[in-house]
Structure 1
């Protein structure tokens, strides 16, 4: 073909062809910008149904919000600068229960879903709280009480409480960019990467059953390991007798008034990857933050007990946090029920997923912010701190 080839609508929008995006590169820039919004085209998912007939209000332009400034200690920048620097795909800001600003990058709409990655863990913990409130989960019970397949694994004597607080002693390394390590095997078990012959367990539960205990006892330092949250999802399924996606739809998604169906990635057996597979719209993500901000009640309906919310946002172990690696980027932080506590004067708490997925709640400012990003690196402590500075600036000025 001579001359300039005409770009497809997809290529014009994203700068590359749809055929360029594969399971082997979907988390890498620039392909991740599209892939994080279209996970179900790459990985099997289960539907989490919203109540039919609910629709979103119109987009609220961010207006003056983008011109607000924040100081990082090294420089001063605008909110718009910070959004660009953190590769933001979408952000919604709610004040006192009302949407006051939507920010959407190119090709993102109110109906666009985005993967949460490890912010999924926090949503899974909310679902665990609902099952706990039903009297179905004993936090002091050992994991095999609910999942006997794990009785020969590291989880044999781990309590559900240890799983919730990331205080399981586990011989597992969360190295995101090692193609042959434990984390790569974990991803392959969840169908998140192409299979490698002879190196992929048949299923997620087979992978979990292969994990062994670390050197210390359970209940010690904060030790971030994603498989713990998939164990929690298994516990929820066994305790409730329900498929995870169906329980979430009935007991969380529809009660909070979610406007769009969500979905969650599943393995070859249909098991939900509750440690990182949720996909949803930013406004629906923000509704989960509002549920937590309001102590478990939304739209006049009790969905989650105040006891569970209080335990999540105020009772993390400072000692366990200081003994773990998170102190390097969140010096005053704590962690409880898979939510981070900022340790600041406003009592802010938040979720966190790789590549910049966050849900931030400031109870004093009555503020909830949901933010999706496609940051090129999975983990960047400088960008974590910048995101927190951005949220704090919005809380103080919006």
Structure 2
């Protein structure tokens, strides 16, 4: 029997992609573009707008970086300068109107929703988490504030091990329906899983300690504070006002709770629009003030603790800081970023007026060599733009 068109395109049949292998190569190349076929998802609606089209590389900005794009398993890269796309790259069978999971860039988008909720007077970052999600009494979050969540300064007894399938991280993935259930393991939804987490040594508010469940808790806080489901609030207050051209989506658990830490899928062009809005102090490309300028300034420039960042062992950006679920690089350019596993990046260089959105299907969730390569690529592109 001849291979199907699917197998001819991807090198494997669709029925070989399952919940237990969708994040592994080679299945991840297709799966990262079609998460909604594997995990229940909710739509983040955009307004009807003209769809993005590929522009290529008319200025030759990417011409010398083909090897870096290939080495870092790039599915899409969009370069925007002062709000205009000046170069882009799309891998085979992927284009400007196609969604791709952005993993932990979802955390940064959740941080923006928290900023919108605060600006609307519905959320107090200094309030206790339990004010909004009372079910977590008795968990690690019982004496934490929303600010602790925003800045990843929660003392949480949890190992952020992306390759774990049987321990606490595996239990986490099963709770959000990212991994198949196991008969010998008790079934939990996201809220139940978060309520089961325990505190580590010390008090909240110390070192920056990157733990994904904190961002899922933040997503629940935003939902409860606003009285709306995550996707509906994101659509009305972020996606439509910023001028997104395509719908996005976010995975949900069996009870409909959002995977705010990593479940958003979106287009590369709309990811670049998020970065451009950030570069412009919270304004859309049409000039609408979408997010409070003070929140953007705090997130990208003035907020965060350098001491807490280094105390958490985050030496890969020695002058960096973490604020509101975003990274400040500490570079002289003032660059800031949102980052997701398997090579997802949103890199903003205010001094050059450049935004770079990169979607990837790197085989490993964390690849430090690729990270260094990507940062060098971004700096070179910004210098040439």
Same fold (TM over 0.5): yes
Q: Please, which of 117, 122, 128 is the counterpart of residue 114 of structure 2?
A: 128
Matches within 5 A, 1:301-380: 301-314=288-301, 315-327=303-315, 329-380=316-367
Following superposition, the deviation at residue 7 of structure 1 comes to 2.1
3-state SS of paired residue (1:269): coil
8 Å CA contact 2:56, 2:89 repeated in 1? yes
Matched, 1:207 2:207: no
CA distance in 2, matches of 1:369, 1:225: 25
Q: Please, which of 85, 101, 118 is the counterpart of residue 115 of structure 1?
A: 101
1:197-224 CA-partner distances (Å, limit 9, x unpaired) = 2424421000000001110110000100
3-state SS of paired residue (1:217): coil
2:2 corresponds to: 6
TM-score (ref. length: structure 1): 0.94
3-state SS of paired residue (1:40): helix
Residue range with higher mean Cα deviation, 193-202 or 35-44: 193-202
Q: Please, which of 25, 28, 33 is the counterpart of residue 37 of structure 1?
A: 33
8 Å CA contact 2:346, 2:356 repeated in 1? yes
8 Å CA contact 2:207, 2:312 repeated in 1? yes
3-state SS of paired residue (1:388): helix
3-state SS of paired residue (2:182): coil
CA distance in 1, matches of 2:167, 2:371: 25
1:177-209 CA-partner distances (Å, limit 9, x unpaired) = 122111111111000000012424421000000
2:19 corresponds to: 23
Q: Please, which of 125, 135, 145 is the counterpart of residue 139 of structure 1?
A: 125
8 Å CA contact 1:116, 1:277 repeated in 2? yes
RMSD: 1.0
Following superposition, the deviation at residue 324 of structure 1 comes to 1.3
3-state SS of paired residue (1:101): strand
1:289 corresponds to: 275
CA distance in 2, matches of 1:57, 1:15: 29
3-state SS of paired residue (1:301): coil
1:50-109 CA-partner distances (Å, limit 9, x unpaired) = 112x12243101241222xxxxxxxxxx31111111010111110111001110011101
Q: Please, which of 148, 156, 161 is the counterpart of residue 142 of structure 2?
A: 156
2:376 corresponds to: 389
8 Å CA contact 1:359, 1:368 repeated in 2? yes
1:74 corresponds to: none
Matched, 1:103 2:89: yes
1:9-29 CA-partner distances (Å, limit 9, x unpaired) = 111111111111111100000
Residue range with higher mean Cα deviation, 177-186 or 269-278: 177-186
Q: Please, which of 51, 55, 58 is the counterpart of residue 50 of structure 2?
A: 55
Residue range with higher mean Cα deviation, 171-180 or 261-270: 171-180
TM-score (ref. length: structure 2): 0.98
3-state SS of paired residue (1:322): helix
CA distance in 2, matches of 1:152, 1:57: 48
Matches within 5 A, 1:71-90: 78-90=64-76
8 Å CA contact 1:188, 1:200 repeated in 2? no
Matched, 1:270 2:256: yes
The number of aligned residues is: 382
CA distance in 2, matches of 1:289, 1:273: 21
Following superposition, the deviation at residue 382 of structure 1 comes to 1.6
3-state SS of paired residue (2:309): helix
8 Å CA contact 1:116, 1:279 repeated in 2? yes
2:155 corresponds to: 169
1:239 corresponds to: 225
8 Å CA contact 1:66, 1:80 repeated in 2? yes
